[in-house]
Amino acid sequence: MAATGVGAGCLAPSVRLRADPATAARASACVVRARLRRLARGRYVAELSREGPAARPAQQQQLAPPLVPGFLAPPPPAPAQSPAPTQPPLPDAGVGELAPDLLLEGIAEDSIDSIIVAASEQDSEIMDANEQPQAKVTRSIVFVTGEAAPYAKSGGLGDVCGSLPIALAARGHRVMVVMPRYLNGSSDKNYAKALYTGKHIKIPCFGGSHEVTFFHEYRDNVDWVFVDHPSYHRPGSLYGDNFGAFGDNQFRYTLLCYAACEAPLILELGGYIYGQNCMFVVNDWHASLVPVLLAAKYRPYGVYRDSRSTLVIHNLAHQGVEPASTYPDLGLPPEWYGALEWVFPEWARRHALDKGEAVNFLKGAVVTADRIVTVSQGYSWEVTTAEGGQGLNELLSSRKSVLNGIVNGIDINDWNPTTDKCLPHHYSVDDLSGKAKCKAELQKELGLPVREDVPLIGFIGRLDYQKGIDLIKMAIPELMREDVQFWFLLLFLQVMLGSGDPIFEGWMRSTESSYKDKFRGWVGFSVPVSHRITAGCDILLMPSRFEPCGLNQLYAMQYGTVPVVHGTGGLRDTVETFNPFGAKGEEGTGWAFSPLTVDKMLWALRTAMSTFREHKPSWEGLMKRGMTKDHTWDHAAEQYEQIFEWAFVDQPYVM
């Protein structure tokens, strides 16, 4: 069995507990540091690293941290004629089957995750003598990402990596998130509780040896690890500034990937390292070098031989493509160039002498990851098509057997109409009266006539071709002929700086003056405003050209706002078109129209508006069905667990 570090929530694989005194004595020698605590479900487990969520002592800052050796330059493998002695495999029958010579000083790292503590006396009192309960299998999971809320966020990627790890930790796994420590002057306070670990490493890449340090915060049962390097300290957003994307992004995220591979081996978090038996969850191109490094630089030396990696594609449009001449900078063996090799088609080349040769980080992960997950089932199909595959469709089609889709969840602590601090009134599926009050407050705030009988349509999105804003512009004159109010919120996230497109802002101002009682537009980024719109509107419009998952439609349904969406990707997966003649009565949570045309969008909106005005019971049914859907992260985490189980069934990738 693979080597692993043991920590909070990291129990051994499922084995039967025994009350044999000799067995208990041998087991106790292996877990001399263990302390027993009662979980919420009423059973006792070994707590090997920390006692629940209790705060741990602050770590002392060091001005000159000692160099910590990792596996970046491992020794060559031992000759075949003299293999290193290995620990004999442990049977799965239980603690009573452990080898008698397993003493505390002689425990091999490979055997740590196969040891479980015997039941305490209190357990014996509540446990039937003939009943042998099973210990839950838990994993060491390492998320690698360019962003995670609340520390740094530019979009859905930050939401996912800020919430999914917490959901998995709540299910008993030991979870680490590795991301950059961005210091840009505005978000510095987000890392105020992250303490220096006393560890740093030197990474051989880009023609030199680059030192990075590690900071750590333990929050919500998750180890949040921040990689610190001067390249993450600069004004602007996460990936660029007013002049565009940073020119050294490939370097910045190469450092992140190397550091993420070293973190489970050297960071003693809660007193224990994560070890080698890890599930790496790599998100988008920023983390895509991780599975390549595991296969090219670690497994040939016997390190991470039992780890696995799962690539999560949040948006295939961003792939981390750079000139082929940068490959030697990555520090990878020359024979691994083919894993990242990318050739642009002739029409995409800049001139006749351009050979179109490049390296593609995301492609490297698609080739080497053990499992691939997209953020919706529909998107997992779309990425295998020529229209949605962004040039990787054939490669993704070849890996269809390990490709799955899981819809993102939402954080119901932040998005809950019964407790939302941003709302003037609260409401629930059992009492919707507060939603009507939220609508009236929003109309007052916008300077629109306060009318309960008029459908209020909202749009929340970026100034992006993907979001279908051009269709909304074309549809507004026709839509304004209806007795309707339209609230247009144009969000500028951190990645988009400046005041926006002057032409588009001019269109909004002229439309407001032409339809004073019907149209309002606002440009900016405000979390409270987006919450109030989601609660106050009757309909949320999302005419996205493509949407890997989408979160706004999930927020809308959670708040009883009916979504009208283009039937693509995650929008098609999550929004069920209203059917008044379903097998069990009325069905559906909104309208998903297709194809993406102005006429189809107007048809869906008019159908929704007529249902709102003329069929109030049906409209209330739409609202309640959306509010009762399970969009929690716990539901998504359960599906990710199944993906992890499948990944460990097969052998890891080796070229």
Under a CB-based contact definition with an 8 Å cutoff, are residues 474 and 599 in contact? no
pLDDT score, position 236 = 87
Distance from C-alpha of 193 to C-alpha of 226, rounded to nearest angstrom: 11
- Outline where 177-312 has alpha helix (H): 249-266, 289-293
Distances (CA, A) of 500 to 225, 473, 505, 506: 34, 16, 7, 11
Write out the two tokens for 386: 């020529």
Q: Which residues of the chain have pLDDT under 50?
A: 1-69, 73-135, 491-500
What residue spans in the chain does CATH classification 3.40.50.2000 cover?
140-409+639-649, 432-629
CATH superfamily of 140-409+639-649: Glycogen Phosphorylase B; (3.40.50.2000)
Q: How far is CA 327 from CA 144, 253, 286, 294, 333, in A?
A: 21, 14, 16, 17, 10
How many helices (H) does the chain have, and how many strands (E)? 18, 24
pLDDT of 489 reads 62
CA distance 595 to 384: 19
Q: What is the pLDDT of residues 588-642, one digit of tens each?
A: 999 999 999 999 999 999 999 999 999 999 999 999 999 999 989 999 999 999 9
> How far apart, in whole angstroms, are the C-alpha atoms of residue 554 and residue 376?
13
Q: Which amino acid is at 411?
A: D
DSSP 134: B
CATH number of 432-629: 3.40.50.2000
Using only C-alpha atoms, what is the Rg of the chain? 27
pLDDT (0 to 100) of residue 136? 52
| Torsion sign across C-alpha atoms 647, 651, 654, 655 | negative
d(CA 87, CA 48): 22
pLDDT at 506: 77
Cα–Cα distance measured from residue 193 to residue 602, given in angstroms and rounded to the nearest whole number: 50
Joined tokens for residue 587: 């069905």
- Report the run of H or E that residue 648 belongs to, with start and end: helix 633-649
DSSP of 181-201: --B-SSSGGGGTTPEEEEEEE
